[in-house]
Amino acid sequence: MKTISNEKLILKIIKYAPLIFILIASILTTTYISLNYINTLKIEKEKIEDEYIKFNKELIENNINSIYNYINKQNARSNEYLKIKLKHEINNAHDIMFSIYERFKNEKSKEEIIEIMKASLEHLRFNDGRGYFSIHTMEGINIFHPIYKEFEGTSVLNRRDINGDYPVKEAIAIAKAKTEGFFSWYYYKLKDKSKELKKLGIVKEFEPYNFIITTAEFEEDFENQVKMETIAYIKDIGDSEKGYVFIIDKNADFLLTRTKYFNVKDIDKENIFFKSYWKLKNSNDKDIYSQYEYITNSEKISYLKKVEIYDWVIGTGFNLDKLILKIKEKQKELEKEYDEHMYVTLIIATSMTILFLIASLLISKLLEKKFLIHKKDLEKQISENKKQKETLIRAQEVAHIGDWKLDLQTNKAYWSDEIIRILGLDRKDKNMIGIELLKNKMFPEDIAHLEESISNCINKGIDHQLIYRIKRTDTDIRWIDCRGKLEEDKLFMIGTIQDITDNKNLEIEKKQKDELLYQQSKMAAMGEMIGNIAHQWRQPLSTISTASTGTKLQKEMNCLSDEDLYSALTSINNSAQYLSKTIDDFRDFFNPSNNKVSEFDISDAISKTLNLVKAQFVAKDIEIIKNIEEYKINSIENELIQVLVNLLNNARDALDITENQRRLIFINTYSKDNTLYLEVQDNAKGIPEDIIDRIFEPYFTTKHQSQGTGIGLYMSKEIIEKHLNGKLFVSNKEYTFDGYSYLGACFTIEILKN
C-alpha cells in the first residue's frame, strides 16, 4: 500500500510541479527584469553624464596640452630664432659696409670711407630699436658706437663683465679663428644700471680694413618678445576654433582673459577657482581641475596647467550648464529606448510563459507515461540483475576468482564467498576475516612482500599485484594471484584473488620439461663433442704410433741415431700436448662452474667454439670465413658457445648434402648502438619457406631420426632469449662471394653488450 501511495505522489509531482515552477519562475523573472531595468537605466544615465563630462575634460585638457607643448617648443627654439635674427642683421650691416667700400675704395681715402660707413650704420636698428651695431679694430680700439660715443677712439680690449669675462677679446678671437661666430656676456641696459643682464652677440670680420662688426640682444628682451608673440598666437586660436584660453603670470596677473579681472587676487577668496589656482601654485602638482560657480549661478569646469619655463598658469574650461542640457536630452532618448525595450521584453516573457505552461502540460503527460513504462523496465532489470549476480557468483567459482574490499580507516575487509572457499575458511568465521587471518595462512617468507605491496599501493598509488602461497592444510598448498588498487577517495582498496595453483603446476611442469630438454641438448652436444674428440685425436694418435714404432724398428735394426730419437720424442711430446689441450677445451665447455655472467671478448668465444668443432669441418672440406671485430660483452660465455656449436653443426649437416660447389660458412660480428650482432651464414641453398617458421619448435627436425633430435635450435633460442637476454632469428639471404652468387640460411644473434 505504501508503494502505491508513493507512486501517486510522484505522478502528482510530475503533473503539477512544472506548472508551479514555471509560474514562480515567470513572476521572479519579470520582477527581476523590472528591477534590473530601473537600476540599469539609472546606471546608464550616470554613465552618460560621466562620459560627457569626461569627454569635455579630455577635450580641454588636450587643448591646453597642445598649447603647453607649443609654448615649450617656441621657448626651446627662441635662442635659435635669436641667432638667426642676429646673423641676418650682422650680414646686412656687413653688406652695407662692403658695398660702400667697393663704391669708394678708388675715389676716397680710408678715413672718408669709414665716416660714410658710420653714417650709414648710425640709425640702423632692429628688434624694436633695441638692436644696433658697433665696429672695433683687431687691437680692441672702438671705431664706432651709436649709443656710447665716448667709447669711440678708446681701447675696450680689457673691459670685463660681472663674471670676469672679456667680451671684446672673445669677439676678436672668434673673428680671427672663424671670421664670424656667436658669443655672450653680461651688461647694463641703457636705462637700468642696477644689474647686468645676459646678452647674446655675434661678431663678423670686415676683411678690407681688418675690423670686426658686432651686434647683440639681451636674451631677456628677446624672450619677452617671444612671450608676446606666443600670447598673440594663443589669443588668435582662442578666438577661432579651439575656445578661449586664459594665461596668468607669476604675479597672478591675467596676461590673457575674457573676464573683468586683471589679477587672480581680484576674485572672491571663497571662490573655488581662486582656491584651486593658489592650491596649484603652492604645490608640486603640474595641473588641476576646478569646478566652480561662474556668473549668476552658472557652473563651470576649468583645467589649469603650470608652464614652468615662464612661471605661467594656462587654462581653459567649459560651461557645465549647457553640457547638462545635452546630457538630459541624451538621457531622455535613453529612457524612451529602454521603455520600448521593456515593453517588448514583457510581451515576450508573457508569451513564453504561456508556451512553457502548454509545453509543461504535454511533457507532464509524456513523463507520466514514461514513468509507468520505466517502472515496468526497472522491475524487469531488477529481476535480470539478480540472475546476473547469480551468474557472476557461478563464474567466480568456475574461474576460481573472488573479489575483496579493504576499509583503510577501520582495516576491516570484505571477502566474497569464492575467496572464503579458496582460502578454505567457513562463513561463520566472518569476524576473523582480514589481513591478519590471511597472514596466518601464508608462507612466512611471502608475508613481507604482501605488506610492502599494500604499503606501496596506499602511500604511492602503485597497483597491488602479488603472487603468494597459502596452506589450507599441511598437504594442500595453493598458489594465489592477488591484485588490487586504491579507490579515488583513497578510503578503500578493492581487488581480486585468483587460485592459480593449476596454472602454476603446469608452469613448474613446463620448466622441468625445459630443464630436461636442456640436459638432452647438453647430452646431444656431448655426443657431438665425443665425435669431435675422435676426429681431433685420430691424427695426433697416429703420429704418436708412427713415431714410437718407427723408433723401435730403427733400434732393432741398430740404425737409430740421436737426432732421429730426439725428433721422434719431440713429435710424440707435441702430439701429447695437443691431446692434453683438447681435453682442457672440452672440459671447460662441460664445466658447470663456467656458466656464470662475466666479461669476455666475442672473438675469444668464437675461437673456443671453432677449437671444439674444427676437426669435422676440415674432414668435410668446409671453409670457415671469419669477419670478426673484437667486442667485449657481459654474458655467459659457455651458453653462447653451446649455441654457436649448434648453429655451426646445423650448417655443417646442411653443407654435407650440398654438392658441386664450395662449402662455405661465414661468421660475422658487428655492433650498433649498445647491441652486438653475431651472424652464422652458410651457402647450403637456404631453408624451405614452408618450414622456416617452424625450425625453432621443439622436436621439429628434417634429419633422419638417427641424425637429429629436433631440440638443438629450440634450446639455442631458449638459451639466447631466457639465459642471455637476447634474440635469435633466421632468414634466407642471397649474396656474392669471390665472384659467385650463393643462397643460404643466416642465423643472427642480438645481445646487449652490457
In this model, does residue 598 exceed pLDDT 60? yes
Find which of 126-140, 294-308, 636-650 is predicted with most confidence, using mean pLDDT. 126-140
Q: What is the pLDDT of residues 569-595, one digit of tens each?
A: 775 765 565 556 556 555 555 555 556
In which band, very low, low, confident or very high, does the pLDDT at 249 lie, cut at 50, 70 and 90? confident
Q: So what's the pLDDT on residue 359?
A: 77
Q: Give pLDDT tens digits for 149-183.
A: 888 999 999 999 888 899 999 999 999 999 999 99
Stretch among 138-147, 591-600, 720-729 having the lowest mean pLDDT = 591-600
Phi, psi of 260 (to 5 degrees): -85, -5
- What is the average pLDDT score of the chain? 80
- Scanning the structure block, which residue is given the C-alpha cell 651709436? 146
Instruction: Quote the pLDDT of residue 74.
Output: 82
* pLDDT of 75 higher than 50: yes
Q: Cα–Cα distance between 475 and 747 in angstroms, integer? A: 48
In this prediction, residue 704 has a pLDDT band, given cuts at 50, 70 and 90, of very low
CA distances from 493 to 335, 410, 415 (A): 66, 12, 12
Spatial strand order in the sheet of 663-672:
622-627, 663-672, 675-682, 740-752, 727-737
Q: Looking at residue 444, what is its pLDDT?
A: 84
> How far apart (Å, rounded) are the C-alpha atoms in residues 629 and 534?
32
Is the distance from CB of 146 to CB of 125 less than 8 angstroms? no
State pLDDT tens for residues 460-486.
Answer: 888 888 888 888 776 788 888 888 888
- Look up residue 687 and give its three cell numbers: 631453408
Report yes or no: 203 and 171 within 8 Å, Cβ to Cβ. yes
pLDDT at 429 over 70: no
The pLDDT score that the predictor gives to residue 705 is 45
Give the percent of the chain with pLDDT over 70. 77
Q: What are phi and psi of 601, to 5 degrees?
A: -90, 135
- pLDDT at 624 (0 to 100): 93
| Residue 319 pLDDT level (bands cut at 50, 70, 90) | confident
**Which carries the bigger pLDDT value, residue 696 or residue 356?**
696
- What pTM was computed for the model? 0.38
